[in-house]
Amino acid sequence: MNAIISPTTTMSRTDAEARVIHTESSAPKPMMTLRNVSKGYGSGATRNEVLKGINMNLRDGEFLAVVGFSGSGKTTLTQLLAGLIRPDSGEITMNEEVVTGPSPDRGLVFQNYSLLPWLTVRGNIALSVDRVFRHWSRAQRHEHVDKFIEMVGLTHAVHRRPHELSGGMRQRVSLARTLAMKPKVLLLDEPLSALDALTRSVMQDEILKIWEEERQTCLMITNDVDEAILVADRIVPLNPGPSANLGPAFTVELDRPRNKTELNHNERFKQLRNAVTNYLVAVRQKSRRDEAAQSTQVRIDRPNISPKDLSLSGRTQL
C-alpha cells in the first residue's frame, strides 16, 4: 500500500476491490465482520439508502472508533451490529456465525441512554443482570450489580431514578448496565455526544480507564476526532450519506495509557488529527458538490485534495 491518501480514489473503490480485506499476519483475528452490507429505509420514491457496501472487521480485543457527520448512518451501523435491524443485503458475522438478532453478547450503549425512568439506578442495572445471569444466585447477582455501580462511581445514587440524575450520571448508568452483562463486544453509539464539554472530558478518561482494565473488543461511534484518537486503536471514517460507505482506516500508534494533556503536545497526535479532519472535510465537500451536481445536472470538477503524508501513523486498508 502506498502511504498517500486520496479520498477521491478511496471513495471510488469498487465493491470488489473493497472486499479484499487487508490482513497482516500479526493482526488478531476478526471478532465481527461486515461483508458488503447495505441498509436503507422505506420503499419506492421515499426510499432512503443509508449504508451501501460496508466492509469492516472488528478485531478481537481492539478499540475501533467510527467517526462521521450526523445523519450519515452511524446509529444504523451500530443497530446492524447489535442485530436490532437486519441488513438488506450482505452479511454480518460474529466469530464466523451470522448475526440474526440481538444478543447479550453484543452490548449496546444507546445514544440517548434509554434508561427505564420507572426503575432506580440499581433497578436498571439489575434488569440486565437478572436476565443475563439468571442461573446465578440472588446474592451473586446483587453483588455483581454492586460491583458495576461502584465501578462507575454511583454508589451514593443507587436509589435514585434517572430523572434525578445529571446527563453524565445517566450515561454512567447506561454504561454500567451494558458492561454488567459482560458482553463479548461493546458497541457505544455516540455515548458522550449529549454531554457538556467538561463532563465529556471526564467521561472519556473513565471509558478509557474501564477499557484498559478489561481490554474488551469495543466499537465506539463518535463525532469528535480528538476523542477518537484518545481512545481508539483504529479510526474508520464513515463517509456522508446517502449510500454511505467507510473510508480508509487510520491506525493510532500512540502508547497507552494515554493522557489528554500530554497528547496535545504530541506531534503524532497532531498529524493524525489533521489527517482525519482533512479527510472528513474533504469527503463532505465532495458529497455536497455531488449533490449540487445532481440537482443542477451541471458537471462540477471533483475536489482537488492534496495528498497527505501519513508515514508516522501507518495506515491499513479495511
Partner 1 sequence: MNFRSKALKFCNIAGLPVLEPFVRLAAGEDPKEQMAGIAKFLLLPIFTVCIFIGLWSMAARTVVTGSAQLPGPKATFDAGVELFQMHFAQKEADLAMRQKKLGSAIQAMAKARVLEQAATNASGNKKTELLVTAMAYKQEAVRAANFVPSSAPTFVDQIITSLKTVFFGFAIATLIAVPLGVLCGMSPWFNAALTPFIQVFKPVSPLAWLPLAGLIIIWAYTGSDPATNWFEKAFLISAVTVSLCSLWPTLVNTTLGVASVDKDYMNVAKVLKLSWSQQLFKIILPASLPLMFAGLRISLGVGWMVLIAADMLAQNPGLGKFVWDEFQNGSSQTFARIAFSVIIIGLIGLLLDRIMICLRNLVSFGNPSPAG
Residues found near ligand ADP in the complex (CB under 6 A): 41, 48, 50, 68, 70-76
- For 91, 138, 237, the CA distances from 240, given in Å and listed in that order, are 22, 48, 9
Nearer to partner 1, 23 or 114 (CB): 114
**Minimum CB distance to partner 1, residue 159 (Å):** 11
Q: Is 30 left (phi over 0), alpha (psi -120 to 50) or beta?
A: beta
Binding window for partner 1 (CB under 8 A); candidates: 24-32, 101-109, 226-234, 257-265 = 101-109
Question: Could you say which of partner 1, ligand ADP, Mg ion, none residue 72 binds, taking C-beta under 5 to 8 angstroms by partner kind?
Answer: ligand ADP
40, 68, 162, 241: which one binds partner 1 (CB under 8 A): 162
132, 210, 249, 252: which one binds partner 1 (CB under 8 A): 132
**Cis before residue 162, ω within 30 degrees of 0?**
no
10, 55, 57, 75: which one binds Mg ion (CB under 5 A): 75
Read off the C-alpha cell for 42: 422505506
Nearer to Mg ion, 12 or 112 (CB): 112
Give the total residue count for the chain: 318
Judged by CB under 8 A, does residue 82 bind partner 1? yes
Nearer to partner 1, 11 or 84 (CB): 84
Closest CA to 18 of 185, 168, 236: 236
Distance of CA 56 to the CA centre of its chain: 12
Judged by CB under 8 A, does residue 127 bind partner 1? yes
Q: What is the contact mask toward partner 1 in residues 20 to 59, using x (rule: CB under 8 A)?
A: ----------------------------------------
Task: Look at strands 217-222 and 185-188 and give their pairing.
Answer: parallel
Taking every pair of Cα atoms in the chain, the longest distance, rounded to a whole number of angstroms, is: 69
- For 29, 59, 107, 145, 169, the CA distances from 239, given in Å and listed in that order, are 25, 21, 25, 39, 32
- Is residue 300 helix, strand or coil? coil
102, 153, 307, 314: which one binds partner 1 (CB under 8 A): 102
Q: Quote the CA–CA distance of 161 and 212 in Å, as a whole number.
A: 29
Give the footprint of partner 1 on this chain (CB under 8 A).
79, 82, 84, 101-104, 106-108, 110, 112, 114, 116-118, 127-128, 131-132, 161-163, 181
Give the footprint of Mg ion on this chain (CB under 5 A).
74-75, 111
